[in-house]
Structure 1
Amino acid sequence: MKKRILSAVLTAALALSTLLTGCGSRTTGKKAEAVSYMESINGKNKENVPDDKYRTTYEIFVGSFYDSNGDGVGDLKGVEEKLDYIKGLGFNQIWLMPICPSPTYHKYDVSDYMAVDKEYGTMEDFKNLVAACHKKGIKLITDLVLNHTSVEHPWFKKAAEYLKSLKDGQKPDPEKCKYIKYYNFSREEDSGYKQLYGSRWYYEAQFWEGMPDLNLDNKEVRNEIKKITDFWLDKGVDGFRLDATTYYYTGNEKKNIAFLKWLNDEVKAKNPDAYIVGECWADLTQYARYYQSGVDSFFDFDFANDEGTIAKTVSGQTSAKSFGEEMVRAQDEIAKNSSGRGIEAPFYTNHDMARSAGYYPGDDGSKTKFAEGLNLMMSGSAFVYYGEEIGMKGSGKDENKRAPMYWTADSGAKGMTEGPKDMELFKMKYAPEDKQAKSQTSILNYVKQAIKLRNSFPAIARGKVRVESASNDSILIVTKTSDDSKIKPLAIVYNTSDKPKTLKTSDLPDGYNKLKGVLTVGKQQITEKDGTITMPKESIAVYQK
């Protein structure tokens, strides 16, 4: 992709975004009052983040994030250069998408589990990044892809070479090539199997022919996995994101959970404080069962994407009260399957989903903001995909969902990446980060305020949700309480409607009468007068006793 072409596209995008209300490209006195009001309330609160596994995590596709050396590809040094930005937003954990050598741009097919892809830098760069993160109080977890390797991995290449060398009718001998047992080879073609080029053998590859599935029943494979996790833990990583956990043993949930239990036990034996979050792309009933493995978290897929509970609530398809009831259902299902130890992992979008700026036609930024507020007010360890904090666009092919972080409209500026080479050109809807940082009414600053509340009130992430009786179609009132006496309980009031709504102060739970935090998408303020609370459209209020 030519940077000058992308520059023209992004410049046009900036011109468009300046016309959109609430996008952060222009600041007026009146609009500044809205966030000044938020800051006047939220700024009084002190940060109070317990040292535990309830974190606020920023997901990064390194190749599209920040380029430190001008080659057009984001790298680990670039992530390090932007740690102040990440910390400034309030994030206290980073999830790096795969960084190991791989023949593909996305790197989910690993060819060497104990190295850094040269596009991203060196192992020394990685160690420096980890040290810099820890110095700033930021944890770092990395993607761990165990369902499959690349066909370019030495294990597969050796197995393939050996099988091709056999004469017709000759049986393979694991004593001569142990790697044939690292994968699932067969003489018969089966569902999810691909033919080994140049032979009559087939191998399991549930995703595509370039990703051969590992035989996770093989003890030697498990020993290799233990070496891999120990290697990265020794490098200082604080845990792992597990890719494609439902495919470890395709169609066999029981074996998937058993393998996850083994993996979790091995990682925690090395580092009891390691945090593990798994991708179990399924509905709540299924991903809740995966907590039986002992893994800390699994992503809350029921709440994510354009058809998830968050988007349906924002678009009015799901009532305020129903949103609260869904949060309770999730927490109860997870608690039931984890003996109360599971940590929810709410998220709104990720690298496999269309970006949220395209979810709401005609949105001026309000709904994009409010959706992030709903996500960040959920209990658990919350995740935000890079660029969502400024409302980036990206849909269709996967490359589009991993577009260059929109730091500035000038694609030739320092740090700007070129993005995946097969990415389509498209216009961003909202202003770039450098413009939004100067606007108090931007999506960026809304997200910053939401994380500020999350970091000020431990009960937001750690509290058990209860829906209060005064909740209705437009107004949701929940309390969040913890068994930990150091965590003060709170009540959260949501107006999920696109119009102002009122409630009585007597509708609040007994004693919760101190307004401590606010999130508003526009200039209107939350007001209390004559026993009535007026909530602006798509607003959130935090109360304590």
Structure 2
Amino acid sequence: MTGRSLEAHHDGSELYVRTGTPTLGDSVPVRVRVPSGSAARAVHLRTVRDGEPEVIEARLDGQDEHERWYVAEVEVHNPVTPYRFLLDEPTGYRWLNGTGLHARDVPDAADFRLTVHPPAPAWAQDAVVYQVFPDRFARSGAQQSVPDWAQPADWDDEPLAAGPGVGQQLFGGDLPGIEQRLGHLERLGVDVLYLTPFFPGRSNHRYDASTFDHVDPLLGGDDALVSLSRALHARGMRLMGDLTTNHTGADHEWFRRAREDRSSEEAGFYLWTEDGYVGWLGHASLPKLDHGSTALGPRLVDGPDSVIGRWLREPYGLDGWRIDVANMTGRYRDQDLTHDVARRIRRTVTQARRDALLVSEHFHDASQDLTGDGWHANMNYNGFTRPVWGWTAPVGTEQPLLGLPVRRARRGGASTAATMREFAAVLPWSVTAAQWNLLGSHDTARIRTLVDGRDMLEVAVGLLLTYPGTPMVFAGDEVGATGTTGEHARVTMPWDRPRDWDEATFALYRELIALRRGSVALRRGGLRWWLAEDDVLAYVRETPEERVLVVAARAPWSGAALPPVLARGGMPEALRGSEPVRGADGTVHVPGAGPALTVWRLP
């Protein structure tokens, strides 16, 4: 991005790369657009074949008064084939890669990529995911016995924010309660229900499973999951599960058998030390699994009868898995089997359901784990959540930053866009297009607590529903739930607390979800950044059929005239926010209102 003009551009979307997954040996035409005022005398394509760079000249494929298009063929000689563009200019040369134009040499990490690995199922790009923490969503009224580990809580109690008892507060939500409230999900406009673990454990979060064979009776048992799954599918909705492949609970039947008999098959499922066993991050309650065990694979991840496979089959019919602590699965000291485990899980998922989705949890740079043959996508904390948190942070905020011993920093638009571009650029476009973008989850503070006022909430939610990837909403955000930590944010849904139910916030989420659903460009289009200034972020989402301009402003700004290439063809249509203004010179202007979210369909 240079000033308020548009630079040469390429991404992996349909305008630039033909749809479909290539096979080895295919020749794939890739296109790049260059502004008509560019000094480029020629455009070349650089690929890497078996580790050795090759450069070929791109040919002119079309031009008009605003821009020139070039095309060149990439031979898919390797399973993941990187490429970037070289612009030959009178004053030197510039490289175009996923992070933009550079008048210097750049490493290969941010090159564009063609991959032979199939992308996430097509429905993922059109989806809006709704995350539910089962204990806190809805009670069915069924009689429940209180387990010995639990501290019963009333539905209207405030969750503990930290310290002893955060994992033991039991509010009594269950799967039949969720099924009774599916009308709320339909009204909101979401179509994928993602449940945090439904296996029994000795905590309210259930990431400490005691078995993978049954649904927790506290949630209604196996029959309740079958009923919920069928009710969702009857409404045209989908169901995602949550599984820990990194560890089990210390009360898990496998681990009990392992401790009773160290010569048992199950003993080989876990990592041991001279003093005992390895607990995940030192937690004795969460013994870490050893994926070097040949016997563990068929039980947990390999084949239709594994844990991964059986819950995808009827009568449960899950539509995919989110894998907890995916970044640490199979990793311990000199053992690194993460990619092998991911590929095996992917194979099992695909064999069970060709259209099933596989999403990883990874809080930092996941690029080395997202090459396309394992996880379809990741929970996009670093490529979306953190930069949006920083850009929408109140002035002088003292709020702590998740995972670091510092407060949140208020960032400007340039650094925010640079961060988002850098994390997207190191992934194949097919992965970027399926990333789960989120403003918060059961592990973070609530977005309503993190931003200052409803106007800034509107801007943040606007980015969530217009940025490439799959939006994920944590249950309660849509009615204004608050919370300072992950545990404190696990509030119950205020079905009978009108004071805690913000109808205006619900209307905002519903409106923006509908806006996304009504635009193929917002669901499936590429991403072309236009503005990244202190108080404004603006980008174009585009397909061959539609162009949509998104302008997010966190404060009043100077406004800007649309570049001719965006303004050609007539006046934009305001889908949301300010109407376009035509100046005396005929240029179309974006007003400088803020905080505000403006969305225009360009002619």
The change in CA–CA distance for 1:183 and 1:534 in structure 2 (over 3 A counts) is same
Give yes or no for contact 1:281–1:287 (8 Å, CA) kept in 2.
Answer: no
Give yes or no for contact 1:474–1:501 (8 Å, CA) kept in 2.
Answer: no
Q: Are 2:231 and 1:132 equivalent residues in the alignment?
A: yes
Q: Distance in 1 between matches of 2:532 and 2:207?
A: 44
Of 483, 489, 514, which residue of structure 2 is paired with 1:452? 514
The change in CA–CA distance for 1:202 and 1:541 in structure 2 (over 3 A counts) is closer
Deviation at 1:385, TM superposition (A): 0.8
- Give the number of the structure with larger relative contact order, counting CA–CA contacts within 8 Å between residues 6 or more apart: 1
The change in CA–CA distance for 1:112 and 1:211 in structure 2 (over 3 A counts) is same
Q: Which amino acid aligns with 2:500?
A: P
Q: Are 2:440 and 1:349 equivalent residues in the alignment?
A: yes
Of 180, 187, 203, which residue of structure 2 is paired with 1:81? 180
Q: Which residue of 2 aligns with 1:183?
A: 270
The change in CA–CA distance for 1:532 and 1:292 in structure 2 (over 3 A counts) is closer
Q: How many residue pairs align between the two structures? A: 428
Consecutive unaligned residues in structure 1, runs of 5 or more: 1-49, 164-173, 190-200, 411-430
The change in CA–CA distance for 1:532 and 1:328 in structure 2 (over 3 A counts) is same
Give deviations 1:221-247, integer Å, cap 9, x for gaps. Answer: 110113112211112110000000122
Within-5 A mapping of 1:404-443? 404-409=492-497, 431-433=499-501, 436-437=502-503, 442-443=504-505
Q: Which amino acid aligns with 1:62?
A: P
Q: Which amino acid aligns with 1:313?
A: W
Counterpart secondary structure, 2:311: helix
Give yes or no for contact 1:321–1:467 (8 Å, CA) kept in 2.
Answer: no
CA RMSD of aligned residues (A): 2.6
Q: Distance in 2 between matches of 1:542 and 1:535?
A: 14
Q: Distance in 2 between matches of 1:240 and 1:386?
A: 18
Counterpart secondary structure, 2:207: coil
Counterpart secondary structure, 1:264: helix
Q: When the two structures are superposed, what TM-score results if normalisation uses the length of structure 2?
A: 0.66
Q: Distance in 2 between matches of 1:293 and 1:253?
A: 20
Consecutive unaligned residues in structure 2, runs of 5 or more: 1-120, 144-170, 396-409
Q: Distance in 2 between matches of 1:52 and 1:408?
A: 34
The change in CA–CA distance for 1:512 and 1:108 in structure 2 (over 3 A counts) is farther
Q: Which residue of 1 aligns with 2:44?
A: none
Counterpart secondary structure, 1:443: helix
Q: Which amino acid aligns with 1:60?
A: V
Q: Which amino acid aligns with 1:402?
A: R
The change in CA–CA distance for 1:292 and 1:529 in structure 2 (over 3 A counts) is closer
Higher normalized helix content (fraction of residues): 1
Give deviations 1:360-413, integer Å, cap 9, x for gaps. Answer: 3xx3322122211111211111111111112211124x4322111123327xxx
Give yes or no for contact 1:233–1:271 (8 Å, CA) kept in 2.
Answer: yes
Of 208, 211, 228, which residue of structure 1 is paired with 2:307? 228
Q: Are 2:213 and 1:114 equivalent residues in the alignment?
A: yes
Of 35, 59, 64, which residue of structure 1 is paired with 2:136? 64
The change in CA–CA distance for 1:291 and 1:94 in structure 2 (over 3 A counts) is farther
Counterpart secondary structure, 2:131: strand
Give yes or no for contact 1:514–1:543 (8 Å, CA) kept in 2.
Answer: no
Give yes or no for contact 2:192–2:238 (8 Å, CA) kept in 1.
Answer: yes
Q: Distance in 2 between matches of 1:293 and 1:140?
A: 23
Q: Distance in 2 between matches of 1:515 and 1:288?
A: 40
Of 280, 284, 287, which residue of structure 2 is paired with 1:209? 284
Task: Return 246-255 or 92-101, whichever deviates more.
Answer: 246-255
Give deviations 1:138-163, integer Å, cap 9, x for gaps. Answer: 11101011111111111111111124
Q: Which residue of 1 aligns with 2:468?
A: 379
The change in CA–CA distance for 1:395 and 1:474 in structure 2 (over 3 A counts) is closer
Give yes or no for contact 1:246–1:253 (8 Å, CA) kept in 2.
Answer: no
Q: Distance in 1 between matches of 2:219 and 2:279?
A: 30
Q: When the two structures are superposed, what TM-score results if normalisation uses the length of structure 1?
A: 0.73
Q: Which residue of 1 aligns with 2:449?
A: 358
The change in CA–CA distance for 1:84 and 1:151 in structure 2 (over 3 A counts) is same
Deviation at 1:130, TM superposition (A): 0.8
Give deviations 1:254-305, integer Å, cap 9, x for gaps. Answer: 521221112111211221210011001213xx34543344321111111455
Give deviations 1:66-90, integer Å, cap 9, x for gaps. Answer: 1111665111111111111112111
Q: Which amino acid aligns with 1:73?
A: G
Q: Which amino acid aligns with 2:484?
A: S
Q: Distance in 1 between matches of 2:427 and 2:524?
A: 14
Give yes or no for contact 1:241–1:277 (8 Å, CA) kept in 2.
Answer: yes
Of 275, 278, 292, which residue of structure 1 is paired with 2:360? 278
Of 405, 410, 413, which residue of structure 2 is paired with 1:320? 413
Give yes or no for contact 2:573–2:600 (8 Å, CA) kept in 1.
Answer: yes
